[in-house]
């Protein structure tokens, strides 16, 4: 009922959509059952229309970026997945960049480098969108989104577009206000510093080569599965527990970086969840540390 009503509305609203779309095609883990409806708005008006149509039809909806921090249920996702990865755009100022939520962090970093704008080099290699990075306060190599963001525009739960400054975003370790208020980030503005493009490129390449040296980038994954425990590293604790290479079905603890679970082929969401439980129990028994997942579980 809700789905049919939503589809007939979305047809008139312009956004592309697909029914029963495998989420394994839209997550870096390459895992996940079908989304009932998968919508890809190209701009804010299509997004606003899709959200309002889902609300009117009483259909649940969930917003995604590049799906690089998600573990989607094998049973799929009820309702609409609204994926923002086609909602792109960068507007450069002298020291600023206003960027649409669906822009990939990788392409943003490359554009800023060419323009001689430094500050986001640390994010080169994070395989998400700007919206996902702000939502997660993504970070690496000592930098975090909170260090460079100035403001963000978002759609609040009542359907109003609002703009807030960095101080109101309540950033913490992989945390932002958007995890509390259910807002959909539309765009973000970053403050950057003028720098020589060659030096920026050097730093980006340095960070990227550190990633390729340490991370199992040749396998599908969702990055670090666990949050960094206070004063420790999840990967070190997992390795100490002798779990490198441990596997359930097609899911395995990476032998290259024990903080990653990789999909070695045909892994299911249940395989990954079971492996996560095994890791948590063994690390808790061996080191007394209760690991918390960073990866977000969604779906039925």
The 13-32 site mask, x for binding ligand FAD (CB under 6 A), equals ---------------x----
The two beta strands, 96-100 and 184-191, are antiparallel
Instruction: Look up residue 229 and give its two tokens.
Output: 């425990």
Burial bucket for residue 12 (CB in 10 Å: 0-12, 13-18, 19+): exposed
- Please state the closest distance from residue 286 (CB atom) to ligand FAD, in A: 26
Judged by beta carbon, residue 3 or residue 228, the one nearer ligand FAD is: 228
Q: Does 263 bind ligand FAD (CB under 6 A)?
A: no
Cα 40 to Cα 37: distance, rounded to the nearest angstrom: 10
d(CA 134, CA 65): 11
73, 174, 187, 221: the catalytic one is 174
Q: Report the Cα–Cα distance between both ends of the chain, in Å, rounded.
A: 18
Residues in 217-236 that interact with ligand FAD by CB under 6 A: 217, 221-223
Cβ neighbours around 200 below 10 Å, total? 25
Distance of closest approach, residue 176 Cβ to ligand FAD, in angstroms? 9
Catalytic residue among 44, 46, 144, 294: 294
Among the listed ranges 89-97, 107-115, 216-224, 227-235, the one in contact with ligand FAD (CB under 6 A) is: 216-224
Nearer to ligand FAD, 283 or 298 (CB): 298
Chain centroid to Cα 21, Å, comes to 19
Binding test (CB under 6 A) with ligand FAD, winner from 131, 235, 259, 299: 131
Q: Which of residues 57-76 bind ligand FAD (CB under 6 A)?
A: 63-70
Of 106, 108, 54, 64, nearest in space to 84 by CA: 64
Burial status of residue 66 (CB atoms within 10 A of its CB: 0-12, 13-18, 19 or more): buried
Cα(50)–Cα(43) distance, rounded to whole angstroms? 11
Q: Does 262 bind ligand FAD (CB under 6 A)?
A: no
Those residues with Cβ within 8 angstroms of residue 51's Cβ, 6 or more apart along the chain or in another chain:
61, 82, 155, 159, 184
Instruction: Respond yes or no: is residue 294 known to be catalytic.
Output: yes
CB nearer to ligand FAD: pick between 13 and 127:
127
Contact track, ligand FAD, 86-125, x by CB under 6 A: ---------------x------------------------
- Is 174 annotated in the active site? yes
CB environment 142-152: b (16+ within 10 A), e (fewer):
ebbbbbbbebb
CB 100 to ligand FAD: min, Å: 9
State yes or no: residue 272 binds ligand FAD (CB under 6 A).
Answer: no
- According to CB under 6 A, which residues from 168 to 207 bind ligand FAD? 178, 184-185
135 near ligand FAD, rule: CB under 6 A: yes
| CB closer to ligand FAD out of 117 and 126 | 126
Cα–Cα distance measured from residue 61 to residue 76, given in angstroms and rounded to the nearest whole number: 13
211: its two tokens: 């990633």
Q: How far is the CB of 262 from ligand FAD (least distance, A)?
A: 10
Query: Which residues here bind ligand FAD, judged by CB under 6 A?
Result: 28, 63-70, 84, 101, 126-129, 131-133, 135-136, 138-140, 178, 184-185, 215, 217, 221-223, 296
The catalytic residue positions are 174, 224, 294
């Amino acid at each position: 009922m809700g789905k049919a009503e939503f589809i007939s509305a979305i047809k008139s609203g312009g956004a592309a959509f697909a029914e029963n779309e495998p989420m394994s095609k839209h997550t870096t883990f390459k895992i996940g059952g079908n989304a009932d409806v998968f919508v890809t708005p190209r701009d804010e008006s299509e997004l606003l229309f899709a959200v309002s149509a889902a609300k009117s039809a009483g259909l649940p909806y969930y917003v995604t970026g590049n799906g690089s921090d998600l573990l989607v249920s094998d049973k799929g996702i009820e309702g609409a997945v609204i994926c923002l990865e086609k909602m792109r755009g960068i507007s450069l100022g002298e020291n600023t960049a206003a960027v649409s939520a669906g822009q990939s962090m990788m392409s943003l970093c490359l554009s800023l480098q060419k323009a001689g704008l430094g500050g986001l080099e640390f994010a080169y290699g994070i395989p998400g969108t700007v919206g996902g990075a702000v939502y997660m306060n993504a970070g690496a190599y000592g930098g975090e989104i909170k260090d460079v963001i100035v403001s963000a525009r978002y759609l609040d739960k009542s359907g109003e577009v609002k703009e807030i400054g960095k101080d109101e975003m309540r950033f913490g370790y992989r945390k932002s206000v958007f995890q509390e208020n259910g807002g959909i980030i539309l765009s973000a503005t970053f403050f950057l510093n003028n720098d020589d493009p060659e030096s920026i490129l050097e730093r980006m390449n340095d960070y990227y080569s550190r990633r390729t040296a340490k991370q199992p980038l040749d396998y599908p994954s969702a990055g670090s599965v666990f949050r960094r425990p206070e004063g420790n590293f999840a990967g070190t604790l997992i390795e100490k527990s002798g779990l490198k290479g441990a596997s359930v079905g097609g899911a395995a603890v990476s032998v290259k970086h024990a903080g990653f679970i990789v999909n070695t082929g045909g892994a299911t969401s249940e395989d990954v969840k079971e492996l996560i439980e095994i890791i948590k129990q063994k690390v808790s028994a061996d080191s007394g540390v209760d690991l918390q997942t960073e990866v977000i579980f969604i779906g039925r």
